[in-house]
Amino acid sequence: MTSERREFERIPFTIIANYRVYLQKTLRKEELFYGQADIINISGGGIQVSLRDVSSDLLSDLLESHRKLLLEFELTVGGKPVILRGKMVWARREQKTEAGICFVDIGTDEQKLILDYVEENLSHNN
């Protein structure tokens, strides 16, 4: 059994969010595809998602390539709309495709909103 160390606490965060996947090019973004994801949990550093309608071939290509991918999610956190960008750091496909997304280029206001939301929900559960 391995011990997992995280920088941020995670809480369940069950909503459906739209997402877009971009291939980062030198001076422009090229959209690869878009869809919906079920958010499973959230922390100040990222989210875990269940991606809908992602083929196993595409998932393998995304994980094995060295291309920089940017995922953009539209969420409502604590009653406020937030657009979050992240990179896929792991994924697995069993009955559905689950992935871990690490936030990138997150603003201090957005991160504080998420951290406050997580802290508030953790205190309600204790």
* pLDDT top residue among 60 and 115: 115
Burial class of 89 by CB neighbour count within 10 A (0 to 12, 13 to 18, 19+) = exposed
- The one-character DSSP state at 78 is T
**pLDDT exceeds cutoff 90 at 77:** no
Contacts of 49 (CB under 8 A, 6+ apart): 17, 19, 37, 38, 39, 40, 98, 99, 101
In a domain, residue 3? The reply is no
pLDDT at 60: 67
- Tens-place pLDDT, residues 36-76: 889 999 999 999 999 877 766 666 666 666 555 567 777 77
Domain count, the chain: 1
Cα separation of 125 and 108, whole Å?
26
**pLDDT exceeds cutoff 60 at 1:** no
Domain range for 104 is 11-125
- Nearest Cα neighbor of 42 from 8, 70, 79, 66 is 8
pLDDT at 3: 47
Cα separation of 23 and 27, whole Å?
11
In a domain, residue 121? The reply is yes
In a domain, residue 86? The reply is yes
pTM of the model: 0.77
The mean per-residue pLDDT over the stretch 99-110 comes to: 87
* Greatest mean pLDDT among 72-76, 78-82, 104-108, 122-126: 104-108
The rounded mean pLDDT for the chain is 78
pLDDT confidence bin for 89, thresholds 50/70/90: confident
**pLDDT exceeds cutoff 80 at 101:** yes
**CATH number for 94:** 2.40.10.220
Bridge partners (DSSP) of residue 21 are 33, 71
In a domain, residue 6? The reply is no
pLDDT at 6: 67
Only one residue has tokens 């971009």, namely 22
